[in-house]
Structure 1
Amino acid sequence: MANVVDLFFSLSISRQVTRVLLLISLAHTQNIVVFQPSYLTATGPAVTALLLGNTSDISLNLRRVSPSNTTGSIGPPSCVAEVTQWVLTREQVGKTAVRVQLTLEKNLRLCRQNETDTDCCPKPLCVLEALQVSACVGGTPQASLLIQAKIHALLVPANAGSDNKTVIPNQVYQPLGSCPCDLTFRACDVRCCCDKDCSIEDLKLFVSHCLPGPFGGQVSPTPDYQCSVQSSENSPDWFPFLCVNSWPENNPYLGLFYQGDTITPKPGPSFQQPVLSAPVPVNVYIQGSPIFTLNDQYFTIPQNVLGQCVNNAPVAFLENFNVKCVTLLRSCPTASPLRTLSTALGIKVKNGQGGDVAVEVIDEVAIDLTQFISSADAVTFSGERLVCENVTVALDYEFYWKGNGITSITLTRTVGTVTLNSSSMALTTRYSAVFLNGEFIAQPNSGNPGYQVGRPVIAGIVDTLDNNTGSIQRTSINLWKPVGDGLCSTAEKKPVLYGENSTSGCLLPVSRQNLTQCNLVRETVSSLQAALITATYVAKRGNPDPLTMTDWVNISFVTLNSSTTTEDTTSSCYGIPSHQHIHVWSLITGIVGGLPQRDIRALQVSYSLFPWALDCGGGDVSPCLDPRETRLFPITSSVTFTDIPINTGPPKTRFQINFTEYDCNRNDVCWPELAFPITKYYTGETYSQSLAKGLILVFFFITASILGTPWRQIRQAWNCATH
C-alpha cells in the first residue's frame, strides 16, 4: 500500500513538473507569456506568482476589478494601471521567468474605539477585494493574473506585555499574593483567571481551563470550624463559643513564595551583536534588581557565571551566593580581586531609599592556607622561593536590609602570605554574599506547619556562639550527588527531600597498598559518610522556631559494634561502613485547608558494614601485581520514609483482650447485638433516631398485647376465677 501511495505522489509531482516545462517550452516557441498560476487567493499581506515566456518587453499593470452586475464576469484585461494599496514588484529569476510579488501597504492592526488614525482596520475583515495583474506589450494585454484578497485584522492585546516583574514588598514575610499566576505586569496571563488585567473577553477564551489550586488563585475551601462559615440560620447554639477565627491566608503555602520568581520572556536566537545599554539605577530595590554604587555603576563581586568565574559580576538584591574560584598563580598577583586595598573596597552604595551606605571593611589574616591552596607542580624553581604577601583569599559580604532598602554592609576580607614553591600553584579563593534581616538569615520553610512532599528536610545544630539562648542553627541532611567522573573527591551533596526515597553514591579509588592499612581505610570512609550529616537535630514540622527546642527531635545514630570485627588480610579489609542509611518516621497529625500535615517523629542514621577485597580473577590482574594500581569501590547513601499508621479506635480493655464472649468480631454469638436497633452496632442511621423508633415499636407491641386476644383471654380467665 505504501508503494502504491508513493507511486501516486511521484506521478502527481512529475505531472506538475511536466506541465510547467511544457508551458515554458510552449511560451518560448510561440513567443507568448502566461501566469503560473493564473488565479490566487490571498489571506496574507504578500502574494507571489511566476510569469513564464518571453518577458523582455513585458510591462506589468495592477488594478482593482469587480464583477459586472449583468453578466457577473470580470471583463477583459486592461493595460491601464490604477493606484491601489498594494505594491507590485518583479524579479527576473531566469531567461524566461519573472517572479511577480504583491505586498500590502497597510497596517493590519484592528482600530481601537474612537481612533482617528486611518492606517488600521476598522472591521475584523480588513481587506476584501479582487485584483488583476496584466502583462502588456505596447499597450496590448498578453496575459492576466486574477487575485482574490480576503485578509482579517491581527488581534493584538491592548496592553502589550513587558519585561517588568511584579513588585512584592517584604518578600520574606509575605506570600506571593492572592493571585500567584499573575506573572506579567500590566498584561493578561493566559489561564490565570484571577489576573485583574484580564478583560471579560479575555476570560471567555480560557475560563474553562483556569490554573487549579492555590497557584491559580483558588484557595482551599474554608474549614467548617471557621466562624465565617456558619450562618445564623443553620448554626447550632454552641457554635459561637467554639468556632475558630483565623486569617484566610493562614494556609500550608504561606512562606513558600517569598522568592518572588517570575517568568520573563526570553528573546530568540540572533546573529547580531547585542547593543549594551548603560545601567539604569532604580529608586527602590526589589528582589533580583542590581545594586548600584554612588556613581550609578553596578556594585560587583566575583561570581560564578555559566561555570566560569567573572570578576565583575553585579550583585542582586536579596540573592545569596557562595562561590569558589580557582586561579593558577605563576607570579605574585598585582590586580583585583587577588590584590585589593581597603580604600578601594570601602566604597559607598545606594541604599535604595534615597541615601547611601558605606562598606565597612574588616581585615583578617589567615595563617593556615591549606584550604585555599589546591595543588602544586612538582617542578621547583632553580632560584629562591617567591613570597607573595597580602594576597586576598576570601571576600565575605553581609548585607543588612529592611523593607526595600539596605541599612548597612560589612565586608570581611581574609588575606594571607602565599609562597610559590613551584612554577605554578592553584589558589582557591572564596566569595560570598548573604542578606540579613535583623540577625537572622532569610531561609525558606518546608511547610506551614507540616512538611510538604518534595521540600527539603530541615535539620539543625546547636549554635555554640550563643549558648545563653539555646538557638538552633539550620542545616541540611545530604546524600551523595556524583558529577563528572563519579569519584567521591569531586562529588557534590544534595539535600534529602521529604517523602522521596532515594539512593545515590560515589566511587573511591583504593589500591592494594591502601588495603594493608585497614584502620586508615575505615576512618577515611567514616569521615566521608559523616560529612553528609553534620546535624544533631531534625525539625518536627516544616516551619520550626530556632529558639523553641520542642520543635526539634534528636537524630539517633546507630553505633558500630567493634567487637564483631573479622580478621583483615593482606588484600582485604572487613567492616567498612560503605553504606549509610537514613530512616525517617513521619505521622499525619491533621488537615489544614484540605491538605494533610505531616510531622517527623524520629530519624535514625545507620551504617552497613561490607568487606572490601581485590578480585584478581578475570583478565585484569594489574591491581594485584602493582601495589599502587587502584580499583574503584562504591560508597553509597540512601533514605527511606515510613508513615506511622493512625489508630483511630479506642484502646481495648483487658477484659476485651482476655475474654471473647462479648467480642462480636471473634465470637459467633454476640450478646450486645440482641437489641440490635437500639445499640451502637446499628449504623444505618443516627443513634437518637434508632432509639426513638425502637421505643415506638415496644409501645406498639405492649398496646397490641393489651388490646389483643391474649390479654382478653387472660382477663376472662381472671374473671372466671374471681367469681
Structure 2
Amino acid sequence: EVNQMANVVDLSLSRQITCVLLFISLAHTQNIVVFQPSYLTTTGPTVTAHLLGNTSDISLNLRAVSPSNTTGSIGSPSCVSEDTEWVLTREQVGKTAVRVQLRLDKSLRLCGENETDTDCCPKPLCVLETLQVSACVGGTPRASLLIQAKIYALLVPANAGSDNKTVIPNQVYQPLGSCPCDLTFSACDIRCCCDKDCSTEDLKLFVSHCFPGPFGGQVSPAPDYQCSVQSSENSPDWFPFLCVNSPPENNPYLGLFYQGNTITPKPGPSFQSPVLSPPVPVNVYIQGSPIFTLNDQYFTIPQKVLGQCVNNAPVAFLKNFEVKCVTLLRSCPTGPPLQTLPTDLRIKVKNGQGGDVIVDVINEVAIDSSQFISSTDSSSDEGLVCENVTLALDYKFYWKGNGITNITLTLTVGTITLNSSVALTTRYSAVFLNGEGMGEPNSGNPGYQVGRPVIAGIVDTLENDTGSVQRASINLWKPESVGLCSTAEMKPVLFGENSTSGCLLSVSRQNLTECDLLRVLLLSRTALMTATYVAKSGNPDPLTMTDWVNISFVTQNSSATMEDTTSSCYGIPSHQHIHVWSLITGAVEGMPQRDIRALQVSYSLSHWTLDCGGGDVSLCVEPMETQLFPLTSSVTFTDIPVNTEPPKTRFQINFTEYDCNRNDVCWPELAFPITKYYTGEPYSQSLAKGLILVFFFITASILGTPWRQIRQAWK
C-alpha cells in the first residue's frame, strides 16, 4: 500500500509539473503573460511575485487603486504609472520568468507627539492601501497583480538605548505586584498586557499573544481539587470529603517573585576563545617536549593537526614528521609560510643546555615546479607570475644527549604561474639526527605494541664484511580524493591491525597490448615494500642479524593458463597480501610481549580485459581510451597458539574409546569428583568426601537385605 501511495503521489506531482511546463510553453508561443500569484496580501515591507510567459517586451507599471463606491470593483488595469511609496524592481530568472519585487521606501517607526519628520508612521496602522502592478506591451495591459498591504508600525521605545529599568522593591517585605512582565520603565513591554504604559492601540497589536499565567499578571486557574471549583451539579462522589480549601494567595508560582539574599554568580562557560597562558620553557629537552626560541616562544613549523594543516604548530623534540599541505591559490601569496624571507627563518633556538643555536638556511631554487602543482583550472600558459613561492621547508635537527647541537633548513622556492586558480602542494619535514644517523622510533620494548608500525629493513654490507640492517617500510595503499592510484599515498602496516585498501588504475588499450611490460610495471607498483627482513621485536638491533627474520615472497598461479589477446591480459598481479604470524614469548610487568615469527607476501593474479559492452565501443577502438582497474592490498595478523597441555600418551592416541571428547560414554567420568579434572573444590576435600561416600555405600550394602539373607541362610 505504501508503494502504491508513493506511486500515486509521484504521478500527481509529475502531472502538476507537466501542466506547469505545458502552460509556460503555451504562454511563450502565444505571447501570453500571467502573474503567479495574481493576488497578494502582505503585512511586511517586501512583496515578491513572478511573471510567467513571453516577457521579452513587457513593461511594468505600478499605481495605487481603490474600489469603486458604487460597484466595489477595482477597475481595469492601466499602463500609466503613479508615484507611490513603493519601489518596483524586476529580475530575469529564466527565459519565460521574471521575479517582481516591491519594497516599501518608508520607515515603519512610530512618530512622536511633536515630531515633524514625515518619514515615520503617524498611527500604529502605518500602511493600508491596495496596489496594482500592470504588465503592458506597447501601452496595452496583458496581466495585472493586486496587492493588499496592511502594515503596522514598529513599536520601538524612545529610551530603548537607556539603562532605565523598573525599580523592584525588596520582595521579602513587599509583593512584586500584579504585573511581573513590566520590566521597562515608562515604555510598553511587548506582550505584557498588564503594562500600564501600553496604550489601547498598542494592546490591539498583541492582545491575542499576552504572556500567560502569573508572569503576565494573570492568576493561574485554580486546580480541580479546590472546593470553590466544583459545583453541586457535576461534583464527583468524593468531592465533599476530599476537596481542599485554600485561598488564591497560596499560589506556588508566587515563590518565583520573591528575592532573598544576593548571590554572586559564578563564571560559567564561554564561547569566546580562551586566553592561553604563555608557554613555560623547560631546562632540558626530553622526548616529546616542545622546542623553544630564545624569547621563550614555541618553535613552530606547519604541521597537520586532526587532518588539517596548521601553520603554527609546535615542534616536539625527537619527533620526526613529514607532511604535505594543499593550498588553493587565486593570487600570489604575500605572507608566511608560502612567502617567507630567509632572514625571517634564521631564528635563535634554545639548545636545552643553557645556550642557543641559530637556524642555518640553505636556499634552493626548483627548476621544475610542476611536481608541486597538483591541479590547475585553466589550460592557458598566460597568467600571473608569482616568484619566490615557498615549495618545501626541510629541517634537520642535530642532537646529543638532551640538547640540540645544530639546525639546518633547506628552503626550496620556485616560480608559479597563476591562470585562474592553482592547487599548490607544499612539503614540510623535520628530522632529528644523532651525529649522522637519524633517530628511528621503536614499536615496543621489547615486544611489539598493538597499533605501532611493523619494523622492516634491508641488509647493508659494511666495509668489514659485517651486515647492518637499514630501516625500510612495509606499506599499504592509502587512497585519497577520487581513489586513483596516481594520487594515492601509502600508509605503514600497524602491528595487530588487519586492514584492506586499494586504488583504481587507469589502463588503456595500448597498455593491454604489452602484457609483459604491464606485469612488470604492476609488480613494481604493487610491491609496496622494499624490505627483505622484518624485525622480531619492537626494538631490534641493526647490527644483530638474529633480531631479524627473512620475508618470504609467494606468487600465486592463476587457475587456468590462457594466452593474452589484443584487449586482455592474464596473470596480472593486482592484489598484494601480507600475512604476519606472531607469538607471545613472555610477559613484562604483566603485559604480554609479542614477537613476529614469520612474514609472507603473496600476490594474487587476475584477468584484465576491456569492457566494450553497452554500446560503448570506444574502449576497444581508441588506443588511448582508458578504463579503471582495481589494485588492492591487505594485511592479516595471526597469533600462534601456545600449547600448554601435556602431550598425549600412546594409549590416548591408539585407543580412543576412553576419550571423552570423541565418545558419548565416558568411563573416566564415573569417578569424576575424585579425579584431578574436578576443580570445584580442593582435591584433598573432594577425595575425602568421595571416600566417605564409598564407605556409606559399602555399609549400606553389608547391612542391607542381601547380606541379611546370607547370614540367615548361613545360620
Give TM-score scaled by structure 1 length: 0.50
Cα distance, 1:655 vs structure 2: 5.3
Cα distance, 1:311 vs structure 2: 8.2
Distance 1:415 1:693, change over 3 A: closer
Percent identity over the alignment is: 69
Aligned positions of 1:395-474 closer than 5 A = 395-401=393-399, 406-411=403-408, 413=410, 430-436=427-433, 445-453=442-450, 455-462=451-458, 464=460, 470-474=467-471
Q: Is the 8 A contact 1:90 1:98 kept in 2?
A: no
Q: Is the 8 A contact 2:443 2:455 kept in 1?
A: no
Partner residue, 1:92: 187
Q: Deviations over 1:23-45 (max 9, x none)?
A: xxxxxxxxxxxxxxxxxxxxxxx
Cα distance, 1:496 vs structure 2: 2.8
C-alpha distance in 1 between matches for 2:443 and 2:562: 44
Which stretch has the larger CA shift, 638-647 or 607-616?
638-647
Distance 1:444 1:307, change over 3 A: closer
Cα distance, 1:633 vs structure 2: 0.7
Partner residue, 2:93: none
C-alpha distance in 1 between matches for 2:189 and 2:390: 70
* Structure 1 gap ranges (5+): 1-49, 53-57, 68-73, 79-86, 101-132, 134-144, 161-264, 704-709, 714-723
Distance 1:644 1:289, change over 3 A: closer
Distance 1:480 1:151, change over 3 A: farther
> Among residues 645, 648, 654, which one is paired with 1:652 in the alignment?
648
Q: Is the 8 A contact 1:285 1:317 kept in 2?
A: no
> Among residues 259, 269, 288, which one is paired with 1:149 in the alignment?
259
Partner residue, 1:515: 512
Distance 1:652 1:623, change over 3 A: same
Partner residue, 1:261: none
C-alpha distance in 2 between matches for 1:682 and 1:317: 58
Cα distance, 1:76 vs structure 2: 11
**What amino acid maps onto 1:480 in structure 2?**
W
SS at structure 1 position matched to 2:524 = helix
Q: Deviations over 1:502-523 (max 9, x none)?
A: 2221101111122111122222
SS at structure 2 position matched to 1:527 = helix
Partner residue, 2:169: 63
Distance 1:151 1:644, change over 3 A: farther
Partner residue, 1:268: 271
Partner residue, 1:569: 565
SS at structure 2 position matched to 1:569 = coil
Partner residue, 2:27: none
Residue 349, structure 1, aligned to residue 349, structure 2: yes
Q: Which has the bigger relative contact order, CA under 8 A and spacing at least 6?
A: 1
Distance 1:653 1:360, change over 3 A: farther
Partner residue, 1:635: 631
Partner residue, 1:553: 549
Q: Is the 8 A contact 2:580 2:596 kept in 1?
A: yes
Q: Is the 8 A contact 2:512 2:567 kept in 1?
A: yes
SS at structure 2 position matched to 1:558 = strand
**What amino acid maps onto 2:525 in structure 1?**
L
Q: Is the 8 A contact 1:557 1:605 kept in 2?
A: yes
C-alpha distance in 2 between matches for 1:308 and 1:667: 63
C-alpha distance in 1 between matches for 2:601 and 2:641: 22
Partner residue, 2:479: 482
Aligned positions of 1:660-679 closer than 5 A = none
C-alpha distance in 1 between matches for 2:375 and 2:414: 16
C-alpha distance in 2 between matches for 1:77 and 1:611: 89
**What amino acid maps onto 1:320 in structure 2?**
N
Q: Deviations over 1:583-635 (max 9, x none)?
A: 22233445555554443322211111111001211143332232222111111
C-alpha distance in 1 between matches for 2:192 and 2:578: 78
Aligned positions of 1:595-634 closer than 5 A = 595-634=591-630
Larger radius of gyration: 2
Cα distance, 1:537 vs structure 2: 2.7
Distance 1:636 1:152, change over 3 A: farther
Distance 1:88 1:591, change over 3 A: same
C-alpha distance in 2 between matches for 1:681 and 1:88: 84
C-alpha distance in 2 between matches for 1:594 and 1:75: 70
Cα distance, 1:479 vs structure 2: 1.9
C-alpha distance in 1 between matches for 2:433 and 2:392: 19
Distance 1:610 1:269, change over 3 A: farther
Distance 1:458 1:593, change over 3 A: same
**What amino acid maps onto 1:649 in structure 2?**
E
Q: Deviations over 1:457-499 (max 9, x none)?
A: 4221036386767454444432222211110111122333333
C-alpha distance in 2 between matches for 1:281 and 1:75: 56
SS at structure 1 position matched to 2:170 = strand
Q: Is the 8 A contact 2:168 2:176 kept in 1?
A: no
C-alpha distance in 2 between matches for 1:351 and 1:459: 31
Q: Deviations over 1:382-429 (max 9, x none)?
A: xxxx9x9x99976532224467x5331242648799999x99999976
Cα distance, 1:59 vs structure 2: 11
Q: Deviations over 1:73-102 (max 9, x none)?
A: x58989xxxxxxxx98637346997999xx
SS at structure 1 position matched to 2:613 = coil
Cα distance, 1:573 vs structure 2: 0.8
* Structure 2 gap ranges (5+): 1-154, 158-163, 196-216, 218-253, 700-706, 711-715
Distance 1:652 1:269, change over 3 A: same
Q: Is the 8 A contact 1:281 1:292 kept in 2?
A: no
Give TM-score scaled by structure 2 length: 0.50
Cα distance, 1:269 vs structure 2: 5.7
Q: Deviations over 1:89-117 (max 9, x none)?
A: 637346997999xxxxxxxxxxxxxxxxx
Partner residue, 1:142: none
Which stretch has the larger CA shift, 630-639 or 434-443?
434-443
Q: Deviations over 1:167-216 (max 9, x none)?
A: xxxxxxxxxxxxxxxxxxxxxxxxxxxxxxxxxxxxxxxxxxxxxxxxxx
Q: Is the 8 A contact 2:169 2:176 kept in 1?
A: no
**What amino acid maps onto 1:148 in structure 2?**
Y
Q: Is the 8 A contact 1:459 1:536 kept in 2?
A: no
SS at structure 2 position matched to 1:522 = helix
Q: Is the 8 A contact 1:319 1:435 kept in 2?
A: yes
**What amino acid maps onto 2:513 in structure 1?**
T
Distance 1:684 1:406, change over 3 A: closer
Partner residue, 1:282: 281
Q: Deviations over 1:12-64 (max 9, x none)?
A: xxxxxxxxxxxxxxxxxxxxxxxxxxxxxxxxxxxxxx9x9xxxxx9965432
Distance 1:465 1:342, change over 3 A: farther
Distance 1:441 1:518, change over 3 A: same
Aligned positions of 1:21-170 closer than 5 A = 62-64=168-170, 66=172, 90=185, 92-93=187-188, 147-150=257-260, 153=263
Cα distance, 1:567 vs structure 2: 0.9
C-alpha distance in 2 between matches for 1:520 and 1:498: 34
C-alpha distance in 2 between matches for 1:147 and 1:538: 76
Q: Is the 8 A contact 1:379 1:423 kept in 2?
A: no
SS at structure 1 position matched to 2:258 = strand
Distance 1:649 1:364, change over 3 A: same
Count how many residue pairs are aligned between Structure 1 and Structure 2: 476
Aligned positions of 1:381-400 closer than 5 A = 395-400=393-398
Q: Is the 8 A contact 1:462 1:470 kept in 2?
A: no
C-alpha distance in 1 between matches for 2:312 and 2:665: 86
